[in-house]
Amino acid sequence: MASASNLNQFPGICTHPTMALLKIVHYPDPRLHKVALPIATVDDEIRKLVADMAETMYAAPGIGLAATQVDRLLRLIVVDISEAKDDLKVFINPEILGSSGLSEHEEGCLSVPGIYDLVSRPERVRVRALDQNGAPLELETDGLLAVCLQHEIDHLDGKVFVEYLSRLKQERIRRKLLKQAREAM
Ligand code: K1U
Ligand code: ZN
């Protein structure tokens, strides 16, 4: 049976009748600016959401996805930065315990399709969370994983990466995406 931990065997397609591709909310939808709520209990309903989010992230394709982006106001993110797409990481109620340094990285966002820009963030972060079994985990990381974790945790706090860009760029992106949405109707 397909599970969140072996989704990599089925790239890009919905392979299990109980798994679903979720609709990704696009900027400037106001739902992206809501603060997500902590998950009280890690149960089968949460594990189903994890599996659906992982499937959605792999299909997009992306390297991360926050529950806010699929209109679930829960503090849950999935990340896989591996080339082979075989290293799914699940973070429930993630918290940044500490950070250091500063580095600039090009970011994209599945909620802001077609837009990529440089963002400065702390280089190294220490993160605490629960895994999909409800077990506590802690990790210290840098590079792309640190960038991706900060980007996804921002989503849970209602922040989209374009908010690090100038007002002028934000306005241009907003107009471009609203036009795209109108044309897609
Ligand atoms: O949160 C998201 O919308 C996912 C986002 C994560 C992210 C990417 C880059 C820097 C910070 C955070 C994406 O996955 S955008 C798509 C992307 O970067 C990608 C897609 C396919 C292959 C490799 C990367
Ligand atoms: Zn994003």
Q: What is the pLDDT of residues 62-119, one digit of tens each?
A: 999 999 999 999 999 999 999 999 999 999 999 999 999 999 999 999 999 999 999 9
Average pLDDT, the chain: 92
User: What's the total number of domains in the chain?
Assistant: 1
**Domain range for residue 138?**
4-184
- Partners of 78 in beta bridges: 65, 90
**152 a catalytic residue:** yes
pTM of the model: 0.92
* From 53, 58, 109, mutation site for ligand 1 pocket: most ligand atoms within 8 A of C-beta: 109
- Other Cβ atoms less than 10 A from the Cβ of 16: the count is 13
Closest listed ligand to the CA of 115: 1
Q: Count of alpha carbons within 13 Å of 63, Cβ hemisphere only? A: 15
Q: What is the CATH number of the domain that holds 111?
A: 3.90.45.10
Residues with beta carbon inside 6 Å of ligand 1? 61-66, 69, 107-111, 147-148, 151-152
How far apart CA 28 and CA 174 sit, in angstroms, is: 6
8 A C-beta contact, residue 6 and residue 87: no
